[in-house]
Amino acid sequence: MINTKIIITETVENVSPYDMEVSLGDLQKKIQDWIIEYGPEAKLDWDANFWHSYDTQASPRFNIKRNREETDEEHDIRIKKEFEEREARRARDRAELERLKKVLGEK
């Protein structure tokens, strides 16, 4: 297994649809500011089903998302967690095998 870094999609800003109700010139400036801050590859994503925990109905919003490579620290944590999960699964499988051997009378 190759331990390569993965690409993470992260939400970098939440934008209310009401923030988009401005003149086209103001909207263009806002978008230019986002491009400067988050890069031209960032995406504006529409979430029509977003709910605040305190709301009684959906509150649609936009999210600005961008992709980035995981950091060295995130990579190390992910690899360690994957290893621990794999070892825990193997231990459960070994225990189940021993249980079945006893039930079936095999050695």
Instruction: Give the tens place of pLDDT for each residue, 27-49.
Output: 999 999 999 999 999 999 999 88
Residues 66, 42: contact at Cβ < 8 Å?
yes
pLDDT of residue 57: 82
Task: Tell me, yes or no, whether 79 and 54 share the same domain.
Answer: no
The phi and psi torsions of 14 (rounded to 5 degrees) equal -105, 135
Q: How far is CA 98 from the centre of its chain?
A: 38
Residues 24, 84: contact at Cβ < 8 Å?
no
Task: Tell me, yes or no, whether 16 and 54 share the same domain.
Answer: yes
Task: Tell me, yes or no, whether 38 and 81 share the same domain.
Answer: no
Question: Which residue segment(s) compose the domain that 6 sits in?
Answer: 1-70
Higher pLDDT, 57 or 39: 39
pLDDT of residue 3: 75
Task: Tell me, yes or no, whether 30 and 63 share the same domain.
Answer: yes
Task: Tell me, yes or no, whether 42 and 10 share the same domain.
Answer: yes
For the cut 90, the answer to whether the pLDDT of residue 90 exceeds it is yes
Give me 80's structure tokens.
């360690």
The phi and psi torsions of 98 (rounded to 5 degrees) equal -65, -40
Task: Tell me, yes or no, whether 95 and 48 share the same domain.
Answer: no
For the cut 70, the answer to whether the pLDDT of residue 1 exceeds it is no
Task: Tell me, yes or no, whether 58 and 85 share the same domain.
Answer: no
Task: Tell me, yes or no, whether 85 and 57 share the same domain.
Answer: no
Into how many domains does the chain fold?
Answer: 2
pLDDT of residue 2: 67
Task: Tell me, yes or no, whether 59 and 96 share the same domain.
Answer: no
CB atoms under 10 Å from CB of 38, counted, come to 15
- Contacts with 101 (C-beta within 8 Å, 6 or more apart), sequence order: 107
Q: If we measure between CA atoms, which residue out of 27, 104, 100 comes closest to residue 62?
A: 27
pTM, two decimal places: 0.66
